[in-house]
Structures are given as C-alpha cells and as structure tokens.
Amino acid sequence: MLQNLKEADITYKARGSEFEFIKIVFLDEKENCSMKIQEVVFGDFKMFEVPKKDFMELVASLDNCKMAFPSFSNGKAGNQYQLEIQSGENAMNYKWYGDSPGEQWKDIIGFASKLVELKNKFL
C-alpha cells in the first residue's frame, strides 16, 4: 500500500479534560511531511517537519488494522476524540466519547496513541 501513497492528511483531536490537536500532511514529492500541533485550546500552532521514514512507519501500523462495529455510546460528557485520515479522495473518520468503543477498536486507538507519541518526539 505505501508504494502508492501520493498524499495523506491525518488529523487527531481530543477535547475535554484531555486536549490534543495534531495534523500531519504528507506529499509524495517531498521526502518529509509537515506536522502542525496546538498544545492548548486557542493556543498558537507549532509546525515541524517529520522525516518521511517516521511518517511511513506510522501509516504502516494501519496495515493490519481491524475495525468492528462500535459499541453504543450516549451523550457527550467527558472526553471526545476524533481521528480523520484522508488520502486523495478516500477518507476515514472515527469518533468516540470517553473510553474507547471497546476491544474491537484497539487498533485505531493504538494508532492514535502512536500519533501522540510522534508529536511528543518533536516537543
């Protein structure tokens, strides 16, 4: 899959007692990609260049990702999370409230954790 990757846009948001805003944009014509981070609500954005190798390792972690129908959640109290992944016209969007939607979403929750780890590597 990675050989055909021309462009990608990954955005992760956590809102509530936790806060994260991470956006990574990859373009094939570059040998790296850019990461935009906001550390606090209404704070300034920081920009970093991420080596292509680090980005490809992150994306490769989705290769064996298995997703099942999420368990039911009601209400919006507590932490809210959103992960959007886009490559050209193809896109995925995951949202969850509070804890993860169960064991069946462990792969996508793990991917979001790796994205936060990558961000922390640059701060």
Residues 6+ away with beta carbon under 8 Å from 113? none
Q: Measured on CA atoms in the order 17, 101, 116, 44, is the torsion positive or negative?
A: negative
Per-residue pLDDT for 71 more than 80?
no
- Domain region containing 53: 2-122
Is this prediction's pTM over 0.75? yes
Q: For 10-68, write each residue's pLDDT tens digit.
A: 999 999 888 999 999 999 887 679 999 998 888 899 999 999 889 989 999 888 888 88
> What is the number of structural domains in the chain?
1
Please tell me the predicted confidence (pLDDT) of residue 41.
85
Q: Report the side by side order of strands in the sheet with 90-97.
A: 45-51, 32-38, 20-27, 7-15, 80-87, 90-97
pLDDT of amino acid 86 = 94
Amino acid at 102: G
Least confident interval from 5-14, 73-82, 89-98, 103-112: 73-82
User: N- to C-terminal Cα distance for the chain?
Assistant: 30
DSSP letter assigned to residue 103 = G
CATH of the domain at 44: 3.30.1560
* Of residues 60, 54, 61, 62, the one with CA closest to residue 121: 54
Residue given tokens 């990461």 in the structure block: 35
Give Rg (Cα) of the chain.
15
